[in-house]
């Protein structure tokens, strides 16, 4: 079995890291696994980057038009499809399984049909909600993705037709061929089912795997009653609002009203440690000391988990977050809102504390209760060590491999119902506000078509050049043959003349 993963980024961000972890797990199981990506932070023989001149055009439109009015900290919107002739890549051509991951700003859902026609078994891991929305990666509670994405609350009004057009295009693509879908949490599965684009038979849950050789408990005891309380928070981008840093700051300000919290801060025995991309503005008038680690490598992140008293996860929307399973794998208890994987991996009061409802005051109360009870801290740390809820890269790879093999034995290619949305029939029907995005799509399609035509013409030229060379070689052989025949005639004539000459000489004597 040969598996090829398609992902916008490799080793960058949560989705890019998840794709790489699955790839590493499959390699460890001696599966022929390769990665085709638009951008990679890792150099390896099994990773190949592809490029298109239209990527820059699409990025410019998304940055300068689509996300120009995006509020500070809001999650990005991506709605400019670029058609890449991904089947021309030799690794994809030779693959049995094509596994899509986070492919925003890289591949369009239209590639599903071409992959299916090429006989590939297609899987798609949903690391966010973008595969079934008109543009947003997380819906902020909006449920319009189950219909037409009309009047998208995260897009400016003049771009609403773009969200509707993209949602219709997705409906059309999934109607032609719907892949096997993998989600990392039960919550993500329910959201995907709520889109109406998939059925329960084609959606599967495979928990995110972590490198348990790296993310593992400390061999020394930590967090003694008289020791320092170290609160930990981190993610790829702390400024992204859905990660809940504002909730955490508000909660810590509530905590500062607690005499115990105030005393711990005053005595220097409590601090917040953060990792990830951030800015100075986030830490103005902060209620407790902060130690900023910034963007750090995975080894340093694992060490931060092991040193922390608790990992705080006030995430509001996420398909993961993977930081939860990483922290638990390091025996670091977690205090979190019931988002993404949290209900799947945390048993309240055993290896962490789930804060419900999602409210900064409730989060503050939970933090104060935790730091005020050394026995609770010790119990949850031991619970995380025993029942951490994380699985290894190998276990995640085995579960995914089982899905691959089951699908190959019993392929399920169930299309959508006939009631699915149909795409707009003509670009002339599109509102002027979204024609630039459509133009990028058309240009990318033309680029793809011209690329195929160029490849075909190049092949024909190579054939003609080969024929020309063959004709030249044949002509050269004929000329050599003719020359050889003339040489033989000359030699024969010379031999006869010489014989006649000898006869005349001998007879004269």
Which H helix or E strand runs over 449? helix 435-508
Q: Interior CA angle at 143 toward 100 and 357, to 5°?
A: 100
- The per-residue pLDDT for 447 is 61
φ/ψ (deg, to 5) at 405: -65, -40
Q: Are 339 and 317 in contact (CB under 8 A)?
A: yes
Going by pLDDT thresholds of 50, 70 and 90, the confidence category of residue 66 is confident
422 pLDDT higher than 50: no
List CB contacts of 14: < 8 A, sequence separation 6 or more.
127, 235, 236, 320, 321, 322
453 pLDDT higher than 80: no
d(CA 415, CA 398): 27
Q: Mean pLDDT highest for which of 122-131, 172-181, 496-505?
A: 122-131
- The per-residue pLDDT for 461 is 87
- The per-residue pLDDT for 484 is 82
96 pLDDT higher than 90: yes
Average pLDDT over residues 485-490: 80
Identify the CA nearest to 296 among candidates 286, 307, 285.
307
Output the pTM of the full model: 0.81
The burial of 54, by beta-carbon neighbours within 10 Å (0-12 exposed, 13-18 middle, 19 or more buried), is given as buried
- The per-residue pLDDT for 420 is 38
- The per-residue pLDDT for 81 is 66
d(CA 470, CA 463): 10
Number of neighbours of residue 312 by Cβ within 10 angstroms: 27
Average pLDDT over residues 447-465: 75
- The per-residue pLDDT for 443 is 59
Lowest average pLDDT, out of 110-124, 354-368, 409-423, goes to: 409-423
Can you read off the two tokens belonging to residue 210?
């972590």
Going by pLDDT thresholds of 50, 70 and 90, the confidence category of residue 36 is very high
- The per-residue pLDDT for 412 is 59
Which H helix or E strand runs over 430? none
421 pLDDT higher than 60: no
Average pLDDT over residues 414-426: 41
d(CA 33, CA 10): 14
Can you read off the two tokens belonging to residue 225?
């009653």
Average pLDDT over residues 450-463: 76
Average pLDDT over residues 439-447: 58
pLDDT one-digit tens code per residue, 135-190:
999 998 899 999 999 998 888 888 888 888 889 888 888 888 889 999 999 999 99
- The per-residue pLDDT for 382 is 93
Average pLDDT over residues 426-454: 57
- The per-residue pLDDT for 436 is 60
φ/ψ (deg, to 5) at 41: -95, 0
Q: Strand ranges (DSSP E) for 57-190?
A: 97-100, 121-126, 180-183
Going by pLDDT thresholds of 50, 70 and 90, the confidence category of residue 214 is very high
- The per-residue pLDDT for 418 is 39
347 pLDDT higher than 60: yes
- The per-residue pLDDT for 434 is 54
Going by pLDDT thresholds of 50, 70 and 90, the confidence category of residue 397 is very high
133 pLDDT higher than 80: yes
The burial of 461, by beta-carbon neighbours within 10 Å (0-12 exposed, 13-18 middle, 19 or more buried), is given as exposed
Going by pLDDT thresholds of 50, 70 and 90, the confidence category of residue 99 is very high
d(CA 112, CA 154): 27
Q: Interior CA angle at 316 toward 312 and 319, to 5°?
A: 95
Average pLDDT over residues 268-289: 95
Going by pLDDT thresholds of 50, 70 and 90, the confidence category of residue 222 is low
- Tokens 């298109």 correspond to 52
Average pLDDT over residues 5-19: 91
d(CA 345, CA 168): 35
pLDDT one-digit tens code per residue, 401-415:
999 999 887 775 444
Going by pLDDT thresholds of 50, 70 and 90, the confidence category of residue 194 is very high
Average pLDDT over residues 449-457: 69
- The per-residue pLDDT for 428 is 41
Q: Mean pLDDT highest for which of 37-46, 110-119, 437-446?
A: 37-46
Identify the CA nearest to 8 among candidates 56, 46, 49.
49
83 pLDDT higher than 80: no
Going by pLDDT thresholds of 50, 70 and 90, the confidence category of residue 28 is very high
pLDDT one-digit tens code per residue, 259-275:
999 999 999 999 999 99
Q: Where do the domains of the chain lie, and which CATH numbers do they carry?
A: 2-211+394-449 (3.40.50.2000), 229-389 (3.40.50.2000)
Supply the mean pLDDT for the chain. 87
């Amino acid at each position: 079995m040969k598996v090829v993963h398609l992902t916008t980024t490799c080793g960058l961000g949560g989705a890019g890291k998840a794709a790489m972890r699955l790839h590493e797990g499959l390699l460890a199981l001696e599966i022929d696994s390769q990665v085709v990506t638009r951008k990679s932070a890792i150099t390896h023989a099994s990773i190949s980057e592809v490029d298109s001149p239209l990527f820059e055009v699409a990025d410019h439109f998304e940055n300068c038009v689509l996300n120009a009015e995006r509020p500070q900290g809001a999650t990005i919107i991506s709605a400019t499809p670029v058609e890449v002739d991904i089947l021309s890549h030799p690794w994809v051509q030779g693959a049995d399984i094509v596994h899509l991951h986070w492919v925003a700003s890289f591949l369009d859902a239209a590639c599903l049909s071409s992959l299916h026609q090429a006989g590939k078994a297609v899987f798609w891991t949903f690391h966010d909600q973008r595969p079934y929305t008109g543009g947003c990666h997380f819906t902020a509670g909006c449920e319009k993705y189950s219909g037409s994405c009309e009047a998208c609350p995260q897009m400016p009004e003049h771009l609403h037709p773009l969200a509707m057009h993209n949602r219709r295009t997705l409906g059309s693509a999934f109607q032609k061929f719907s892949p096997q879908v993998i989600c990392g949490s039960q919550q993500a599965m329910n959201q995907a089912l709520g889109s109406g684009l998939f059925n329960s038979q084609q959606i599967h849950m495979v928990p995110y795997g972590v490198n348990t050789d790296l993310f593992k408990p400390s061999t020394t005891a930590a967090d003694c009653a008289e020791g320092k309380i170290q609160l930990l928070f981190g993610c790829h981008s702390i400024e992204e609002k859905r990660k809940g840093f504002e909730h955490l700051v508000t909660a810590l300000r509530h905590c500062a009203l607690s005499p115990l919290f105030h005393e711990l801060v005053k005595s220097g025995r409590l601090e917040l440690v953060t990792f990830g991309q951030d800015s100075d503005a986030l830490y103005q008038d902060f209620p407790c000391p902060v130690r900023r680690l910034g963007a750090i490598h995975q080894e340093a992140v694992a060490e931060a988990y092991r040193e922390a008293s608790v990992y705080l996860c006030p995430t509001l929307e996420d398909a993961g977050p993977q930081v939860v399973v990483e922290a638990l794998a390091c025996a670091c208890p977690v205090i979190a809102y019931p988002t993404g994987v949290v209900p799947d991996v945390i048993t309240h009061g055993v290896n962490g504390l789930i804060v419900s409802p999602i409210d900064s005051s409730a989060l503050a109360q939970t933090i104060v209760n935790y730091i005020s009870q050394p026995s609770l801290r010790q119990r949850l740390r031991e619970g995380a060590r025993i029942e951490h809820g994380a699985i290894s890269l190998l276990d995640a790879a085995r579960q995914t491999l089982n899905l691959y093999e089951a699908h190959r034995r019993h392929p399920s290619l169930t299309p959508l119902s006939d009631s699915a949305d149909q795409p707009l029939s003509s670009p002339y029907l599109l509102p002027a506000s979204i024609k630039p995005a459509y133009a990028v799509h058309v240009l990318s399609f033309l680029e793809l078509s011209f690329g195929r035509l160029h490849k075909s013409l190049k092949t024909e030229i190579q054939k003609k050049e080969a024929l020309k060379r063959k004709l030249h070689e044949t002509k050269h052989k004929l000329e050599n043959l003719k020359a050889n025949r003339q040489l033989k005639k000359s030699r024969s004539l010379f031999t006869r003349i010489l014989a006649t000459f000898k006869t005349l000489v001998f007879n004269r004597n």
